[in-house]
Chain A
Amino acid sequence: MNCFEVRQDFPAFWRRELLEYRRAEMNAHLGQCSKCDAAFRTFAMTAPVLHSEHAPQTPAGSGARPREVALESAARPASSARVNYSEPRRWLAMCASAIIFIAASTGAYLAVTPPAASLSEALTSPREPSMQDLFGPDTPDLSNDLAG
């Protein structure tokens, strides 16, 4: 790494976004080059504001001051108070929903399907299947009523 490349990578180094080998090269260069080392120390003075992704937590008690403004709902919507779930948890929720849906569908299908043994027996019997064969022994025999 030359001096230009090193200085270009200061922000990524600060945010820990460099790959391990690149980070090691950076450390090695800063250990050897006094000008880049001085530049990095100057950079580090303002980097907590200019290059950090998150501001440090404010001390307790310095919460939001109430302020009535028009269109407050637009600027500070109620939904912002909700828990902000990360992407993996969303995927987990989607997978769980899919599994529950598949399980429920399978259960419903099995519940309405008649037992296979009695059905095959009914279909393969030489005589015409009766109502009891098809729908169980408790089914009243309506064949005479239908014929009448």
Chain B
Amino acid sequence: MLGLAASRKFGWRLISKPDEELIAEALGGESSAFSELATRHRARVERLCQRFFSDPEIARDLTQECFIRAYTALASYRKEMPFGGWLRAIVTNLCYDELRRRRRRPEELVGDFSAMEVQWMHLVNDATPEQLVSDAEERRHAHDLAHRLLDTLRPEDRTVLIMKDSEGMNVSEIAQTMGWSAAKVKIRAFRARQALRRESERLQAAARRWSS
């Protein structure tokens, strides 16, 4: 009793309902049930948006947009698929459309790097793997530089790379989510890695030139 009272008072979720139950309640007109669903999945959706866009405001807007789309399309949700997977399909398509809308052609890696970015590239060239791992998490410019590198890819290549590497999806899952053929997914993944390796080498060479 006291535990229940405490959970109500402080928002602790001691007893959580499964997603399917909350969806049924939301479809029945219970708006707080969808709020609970949004709270539960929000961090993951926002993190996925941040992999597509470096600007946190764009990521937040897309997260919001994703939940609006999910709410309006909730009646089409089928129980056979986990709600998280359904939501991921929505957010991936949303981010892919936004990538295409914002930039029709991939950007060239421009040469104006900040001192901190150059320092990070030196670390990538010279530091031990352990040092790289421990330093990267704290470095905002490592994150920005990674986004700049990913910005050189075509929207579909970037989408495939994020779904495969970050989300751990296999080829058939990506094909189903994006409505592409499996062959297209494989080709895009291969080309994305090729392009990324090429641009990364260019970047590291530029950093070496900068220092010499």
- Residues of A at the B interface (CB closer than 8 Å) are 11, 13-14, 16, 26-27, 30, 37, 40-42, 44-59, 62, 64-65, 67, 69-80, 82-83, 85, 89-90, 93-94, 97-98, 100-101
Contact = CB atoms under 8 A, between A and B. Distances in A.
Interface residues of B, number: 63
A55 B67 CA distance: 21
Given A56-B137, A56-B143, A71-B68, 7 more contacts: A45-B204, A46-B196, A49-B143, A62-B57, A69-B68, A93-B7, A93-B14
Contacts of A89: 12
Contacts of B34: 74
Given A49-B146, A71-B68, A98-B3, A77 B38 contact: yes
B136 A48 contact: yes
B191 interface: no
A47 B12 contact: no
A14 to B, nearest CB: 6
B64 A47 contact: no
A interface secondary structure, majority: helix
- What 8 A-B pairs have minimum CB-CB distances, sorted nearest first? A77-B35, A82-B11, A75-B67, A97-B3, A49-B146, A97-B2, A75-B64, A48-B143
Given A50-B166, A97-B2, A73 B31 contact: yes
A41 B42 CA distance: 32
Interface centre among A53, A62, A71 (most CB of B within 10 A): A71
B interface secondary structure, majority: helix
Interface string B121-158: 00011001110110011111011011101100000000
B129 A79 contact: no
A30 B39 CA distance: 41
B14 A94 contact: yes
B80 interface: no
A118 to B, nearest CB: 34
Contacts of A94: 3, 14
B1 A101 contact: yes
Nearest to A67: B61
Nearest to B204: A41
Contacts of A14: 133, 136
Contact of A90 (B14, B51, B63): B14
Interface centre among A46, A52, A56, A90 (most CB of B within 10 A): A46
A13 B133 contact: yes
A56 B59 CA distance: 13
Contacts of B140: 56-57, 59
Contacts of A72: 64
Contact of B12 (A40, A56, A90): A90
Interface in B10-38: 10-14, 31-32, 34-36, 38
B105 to A, nearest CB: 20
B165 interface: yes
Contacts of A40: 129, 132
